[in-house]
Amino acid sequence: PPNEPLNLKIREITSTSLQILWHSGFNGYSPITSYKLEIRRNSARDWSTVSKHINSENYTVDNLKPYTVYHLRVFAENKIGWSRPSESVWNRTGEDSPSSPTGLQCQTINSSTIFLTWNKPSLPNGKLRKYNIQYSNQSNHADVSTASMTRYIRGLQPFTWYTFRIQAASGGNPVLLWGNYSSYVSCRSGQAAPIDAPRNLVVTASGPHSISARWQKIPIGSENGIVIGYYLQYKTPWDVNYTRIFIAGNDTLQYNITGLFPWTNYTVQIAAITVALGPWTLLRASETDESVPSRQPSNVVVKAITSNSLSVRWNPPPLENQNGEIRGYMVLYGVADTTGVSWNLTTNDTSVELSGLMIFTSYMVRVRAFTDVGFGPYSDEVVNKTLESYPSSVIGLTYNITKTSVIVTWQPPQTPNGIITSYTTYLNTTTVRIFRRPGTNITMYNVTSQSRENTTRATQVVLTGFYGNVTYSLCVAARTSVGYGPCSHNLVFKTNFTKKVISEERDFTSSIIDDHLPLIAGGAAILFVLLIAIFVCCFIRRRQRKKDEKETKQTFNFQRNTFPMRSVDDGESSYASRGSKPIYAYSVDSSSIHSQTNPNNAYAVPEGSDGSPLVRLRNNSLALGSDASSYDVPYSSVAEIGVDPTTPHSTGETPRHFANALFTERELEDTRGETESLDSHAVFNPIYEPNYPQVPHPENVQGGVEDFPEVEGPIGVHSYEVLFLPPPPPEYSDFGDDTDELPHAYTNAVTDF
């Protein structure tokens, strides 16, 4: 067979045809009888035969599709058979007008825009270059071009029907090849707000809380849609924003506005609405009718002026809540927290003074305003008190006498007229003490008067520290912040305490002692047993010491005479005596501390003494609220009681039955400690101590009781100079050892003696 054709070329291309040229190859020594042409599209895989009886070396293929790629190849034939296919060649057919776009759709976006979409032509026949859209309404039409397959058609009239169609174009080299138009589609533009407002709006007041509004429809052709209703808006002059009300229906042409404030000016507007709100009418104003105030006066302040008057002031209700012209105010007041009577008064001012009120009493106050129509609501309750005043006198003043004190109690004033801050007790006392001089029928009286004040918050006072025959006269006054009220009636009573009170603080514990009396009694019994045991031990020790002393030889060198002494020990003081003559002065030669430092210690002893115990006396005198004490005047020398230790008696008369020794606090402490000085019978006398300071004492000229001034301050127990006396004579037997008068009476009796 022959070789394949050579040099294939495509010429004269149109939108529907291609012309192909070629040359024959080696014929295989046999003439070529015909040629065969095969074709396929670019997207196809199989070849199709166009013709196999081609007698020339060119061929034109018709009825092709525009703007399509085709592949072509050629076969040669001789007597032997067909050659192999030639190399294929390809080319694209020319462009042609496309078919109509398909799937055109429209969508209303708003009142002036419609959105169009479509598909490509089924036969583009080339490269699509542009689309042309044609739309129209009843009055006009327009064309727009686009290269895309969507388009927003803008600037349309609201609520209007439009028709649309579209065509495509290809080519463009040098002219566009437009295809046919698509079929029509129709859409209506969207609704818009009306372009005009309702006509002839009229508003009138229909009550204190309502206004009536009437109007007419908007002109035809200015609706721009379907009017679905109206919006009505109103506000007061002080409102920032309008209040809106929707009124449904195009045929609703009146409305009654309710819920308004009385006596208030309102402005009203109305507008029609489709899918949007149209323009508002001009403002129309109307004022609602007057009514009672809807709010109470504000900032009500109640201030106390005096103890029986209050000042009240307030601000009017807010202007928007007055609901009319305020004609005045009513003030309601009464005693707080009670259901009693209340009072009211009216005034045209915004302040008032309430007088004739009770002292220091809480009053509630409320205020309300009124117009010509009526009263508004009351303000919130405001409470305040009138000022304090002087209280009335206390009541129920009573007293209760205990063993050691007087408890005075009372009740608060029935009309305190304020807060009671304290009570003051005014006390006057008169103390009478009776004394008898020894050996006479003379009765001595000591009368003491005192005035005291005591301030306390409690409703009782405890009077302590008084003894003897005491007459009390007292009254109690209450105090507020203003001052004291009148004193209560005088309470007069008497006491006659025989026991001395050491301090006021002890009386404070009397109630505690009474509550724990069984426990205290048991403890006292145990203490008593311990004291007995201690006493026995001390007694045995003392006896042993005395026995040791008797074995010690003592030598006494007297300045005038030397003689043996007999030791007497009464447990509290020591003195020595001899059988027949008084001893005035002597020196002690012993191991005593005092005898070593001062050999001139002297003492006086009664002749023929039987060694009975001496009584060591101490006198304290206490009074209410004071730690003052009175003590007997100490003697500066033995001569003051009738014996001169430096002058010997030549006569043999018996000395008076007493012994005198003056001790200081130092020596009293030695007595309590049982120092060596007393055990060696050396009695210390400051008269004969050269290094001991001598304190002069006033002489009791009249021989009565020496009174010392009382000193303010805490009460304490002190040790002072003490006069040792023998047992009292029979005329004092009616006095007990624990009485307060005996030290004064007996001491002065001996002094006079």
Please check whether residue 657 lies inside any domain of the structure: no
Angle at 666 between CA 662 and CA 667, to 5 degrees: 45
| Residues in contact with 584: Cβ distance below 8 Å, sequence separation at least 6, in sequence order | 560, 602, 604, 643, 644, 645, 646, 647, 648, 649
Mean pLDDT of the chain: 75
Same domain flag for 481 and 411: yes
> Are residues 288 and 341 in contact, defined by beta-carbon separation less than 8 angstroms?
no
**Whether residue 652 has pLDDT greater than 90:** no
| Residue type, position 622, single letter | L
> Are residues 644 and 636 in contact, defined by beta-carbon separation less than 8 angstroms?
no
Same domain flag for 22 and 83: yes
Q: pLDDT by residue (tens digit) across 3-18? A: 999 999 998 888 899 9
Same domain flag for 133 and 170: yes
Q: What is the DSSP string of 397-463?
A: EEEEE-SSEEEEEEE--SS-SS---EEEEEEEEEEEEEEE-TTS--EEEEEEEEEEEEEESSSEEEE
Task: Look at residue 369 and give its three-state secondary structure.
Answer: strand
Please check whether residue 117 lies inside any domain of the structure: yes
Give the C-alpha separation, 81 to 63, whole Å.
30
Please check whether residue 165 lies inside any domain of the structure: yes
Please check whether residue 698 lies inside any domain of the structure: no
Burial class (CB in 10 A: 0-12, 13-18, 19+), 507: buried
Please check whether residue 419 lies inside any domain of the structure: yes
More confidently predicted of 55 and 574: 55
CA distances from 449 to 208, 399, 427 (A): 85, 20, 11
Structure confidence at residue 36 (pLDDT): 94
pTM score > 0.95 for this model?
Answer: no
Give the C-alpha separation, 659 to 607, whole Å.
10
Same domain flag for 381 and 398: no
**Whether residue 494 has pLDDT greater than 70:** yes
Same domain flag for 400 and 486: yes
Same domain flag for 379 and 405: no
Q: What is the CATH number of the domain that holds 26?
A: 2.60.40.10
Main-chain phi, psi angles of 640, to 5 degrees: -70, -20
For residue 158, say if its preceding peptide bond is cis, omega within 30 degrees of 0.
no
Please check whether residue 427 lies inside any domain of the structure: yes
- Name the token pair of 539: 């007694």
Q: pLDDT by residue (tens digit) across 39-93? A: 999 888 899 999 999 999 999 999 999 989 999 999 999 999 999 999 999 999 8
Same domain flag for 24 and 69: yes
Spell out a b/e string for 105-116, using b for 16 or more CB atoms within 10 Å of the CB, else e: ebebbebeebeb
Same domain flag for 61 and 81: yes
Question: Which of 369-383, 466-480, 487-501 tops mean pLDDT?
Answer: 369-383
- Name the token pair of 579: 């059988």
| Domains contained in the chain, number | 5
Q: Which of 38-52, 278-292, 636-650 has the lowest mean pLDDT?
A: 636-650
Please check whether residue 596 lies inside any domain of the structure: no
Same domain flag for 375 and 424: no
Same domain flag for 22 and 82: yes
Q: pLDDT by residue (tens digit) across 713-730? A: 333 333 333 333 344 444
Side-chain half-sphere exposure of 82, counting CA atoms within 13 A: 10
More confidently predicted of 226 and 662: 226
> Are residues 646 and 582 in contact, defined by beta-carbon separation less than 8 angstroms?
no
**Whether residue 683 has pLDDT greater than 90:** no
Domain that holds residue 375: 301-385
Task: Return the residue matching tokens 């009505």.
Answer: 232
Q: Determine how many CB atoms are found less than 10 A away from the CB of residue 677.
A: 22
Same domain flag for 425 and 345: no
Task: Return the residue matching tokens 């001139």.
Answer: 600
Same domain flag for 403 and 362: no
- Choosing from 385, 403, 419, the residue where a domain stops is 385
Please check whether residue 47 lies inside any domain of the structure: yes
| Residues in contact with 236: Cβ distance below 8 Å, sequence separation at least 6, in sequence order | 261, 264, 265, 266, 320
- 550 — pLDDT class (breaks 50, 70, 90): low
